[in-house]
């Protein structure tokens, strides 16, 4: 994003409750690297709600209206559309992942405890996951490029976060990072798998004594993948193994469903934000 210089109009001082709230939301998201996907999605929902509240403030509207012809305002408008597209694409990818999970779960439940030919279902799921991972990796590479092109310039040494354009830029930066993290939930790159080690996951699952440390590092996707690897390497698949896998698939499906609902909410708030921006610039 091109560096921008805004003239004198700015928002109220840092002590304004709305500005403080936005700062807090940005800080929480920035510090949430190891937090759950649900936490990140809720954080984005709260952040975008605060942004729309910001755009309803008379001084914020005055700033944008006064600078409507500047490159900064054009960038803000373009970013609002980019975030909408990104949220919609993320929602679609989660929907595809849910279909993969549901198809495998349905196939296994139809067996009614029979383990013959289970490799076929497992392989079909892994093939679908591999195709989906390739698509997600393309999105992640695009996000990385956007992150490199997105820079924030202090507009005034004494007024960080007091200018509406500065806030919108920071929101873009953190949103790109968080969407990248959310997409990584269903991608699970090979590098991450190697760094943590499938053997550790498999042993933890086999022993059924998963430590708190393992639980925080392994999400539902990784747990299901580890269960599938165990099944593939087993000569005989027990009923308990199938039940454990079905339980994991059910938990994963629920997590994805909740994520889809959160993404729906985020999408609606992004639409509202874009409409607010367009209304301000049209007046």
- Quote the pLDDT of residue 34: 65
Distances (CA, A) of 39 to 42, 84, 181: 5, 20, 11
Task: Count Cα atoms within 13 angstroms, Cβ side, for 194.
Answer: 3
| Tokens, residue 84 | 């909408």
Question: 78 is written with which tokens?
Answer: 């373009």
Could you tell me the sign of the dihedral formed by the alpha carbons of 266, 221, 193, 137, in that order? negative
Q: Fill in the DSSP letter of residue 143.
A: H
- Print pLDDT tens along the chain (283 aa): 444 544 444 555 455 788 888 889 998 898 877 678 899 999 999 999 999 998 888 888 887 777 665 677 778 888 889 899 999 999 999 999 999 999 999 888 886 555 555 778 888 888 888 899 889 988 888 877 776 665 544 344 334 334 778 888 889 889 988 998 898 888 864 434 433 333 433 444 444 433 333 333 457 888 888 888 877 777 777 788 888 889 999 999 999 999 999 999 999 999 999 998 888 888 7
CA distance 143 to 29: 17
What is the Cα–Cα distance from 133 to 94, expressed in whole angstroms?
11
Q: What is the pLDDT of residue 149?
A: 64
Query: What's the rounded Cα separation, in Å, for the pair 215 and 132?
Result: 25
Encode 189-231 in three state secondary structure: CHHHHHHHCHHHHHHHHHHCCCCHHHHHHCCHHHHHHHHHHHH
User: In the chain, which residue ranges form alpha helices assigned H by DSSP?
Assistant: 17-30, 37-55, 58-66, 71-110, 118-149, 164-187, 190-196, 198-207, 212-217, 220-233, 239-282
Residue 112 has a pLDDT of: 59
pLDDT of res. 115? 53
Which structure tokens are listed for 64? 């944008």
Give residue 101's pLDDT: 93
Predicted pLDDT at 57: 86
The first and second tokens of residue 61, run together, are: 């509207």
What Rg, from alpha-carbon coordinates, does the chain have?
22
Per this entry, what is the length of the chain?
A: 283
């Amino acid at each position: 994003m091109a560096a921008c210089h805004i003239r004198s109009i700015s928002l109220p001082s840092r002590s304004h409750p709305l500005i403080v709230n936005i700062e807090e939301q940005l800080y929480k998201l920035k510090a949430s690297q190891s937090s759950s996907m649900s936490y990140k999605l809720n954080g984005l929902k709260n952040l975008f709600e605060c942004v729309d509240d910001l755009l309803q403030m008379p001084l914020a509207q005055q700033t944008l209206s006064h600078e409507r012809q500047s490159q900064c305002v054009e960038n803000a408008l373009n970013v609002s559309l980019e975030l909408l597209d990104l949220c919609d694409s993320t929602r679609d990818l989660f929907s595809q992942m849910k279909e993969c999970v549901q198809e495998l779960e349905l196939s296994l439940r139809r067996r009614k405890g029979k383990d013959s030919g289970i490799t076929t279902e497992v392989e079909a799921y892994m093939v679908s996951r591999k195709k989906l991972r390739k698509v997600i990796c393309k999105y992640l590479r695009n996000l990385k490029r956007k992150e490199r092109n997105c820079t924030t310039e202090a507009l005034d040494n004494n007024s960080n976060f007091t200018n509406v354009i500065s806030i919108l830029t920071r929101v873009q930066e953190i949103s790109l990072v968080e969407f990248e993290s959310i997409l990584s939930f269903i991608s699970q790159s090979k590098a991450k798998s190697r760094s943590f080690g499938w053997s550790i996951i498999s042993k933890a699952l086999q022993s059924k004594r998963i430590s708190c440390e393992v639980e925080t590092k392994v999400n539902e996707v990784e747990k299901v993948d580890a269960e599938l690897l165990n099944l593939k390497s087993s000569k005989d698949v027990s009923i308990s193994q199938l039940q454990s896998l079905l339980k994991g698939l059910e938990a994963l499906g629920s997590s994805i469903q909740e994520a889809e609902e959160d993404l729906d909410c985020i999408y609606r708030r992004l639409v509202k934000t874009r409409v607010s921006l367009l209304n301000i610039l049209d007046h």
